[in-house]
Structure 1
Amino acid sequence: MYWRLSNLYFWFFALLGGLLPYWSLYLEGRGFSYLEIATLMATIQLTKIVAPSVWGWLGDRTGQRVRLVRFGAITGSLFFAGVFMEPGFYGLLLVMLAFTFFWNAIL
């Protein structure tokens, strides 16, 4: 159990360490304005406030914590794939809200 949990934390924070410093540069290269970049970066922090409470409540209510973590990881990955479809600002905003809602839930 120790290795599985530490593996989860390793990949979670590896993604965090790779996403946060370079995501805004990627968005700037795609032509987004500074306000749009700030809004998209804020979605990560916004869902860190909401998602853990929702998923924690759901995990306590159902008792299926491991299953919810797996579901969050898979669903978050699927939503992040929407980035590669190159949506506009509002499409990317929805993708980021959905991705980070599930991604922050697995922590």
Structure 2
Amino acid sequence: MYNIELENKLFDYLIDLLSNEKEEYFDIDDCLIDLEKLKDNILNSVKKENDYIKFKLTIENKLDLMQYVEDKQFLIGFVNQEYLNEDGKKLQLIYDELYFQSVEQI
């Protein structure tokens, strides 16, 4: 189990993305990711502390979430091939937090 901590604004952005996604999400590798279940798992473990939200992820959920964030950045995150737009910057911050906080716990 991984304990993840995100700033409120990044957490809200992530949950908004997950909430507005279609029911079935296939990642770029055509693997089905159940985003509703993923979102529910995140929301069921939320603890608010000051300007941060803490939540828990299983290894499977972490990998699915990282894949989803990476796919979304690829789809909506660039002004052109070289420059991240505002969504891309937020997605990059979320991905970095998921990655680095996961590495520390291994």
TM-score, normalised to structure 2, is 0.29
Higher strand share: 2
Question: Which is helix-richer, 1 or 2?
Answer: 1
With the length of structure 1 as denominator, give the TM-score of the two structures: 0.29
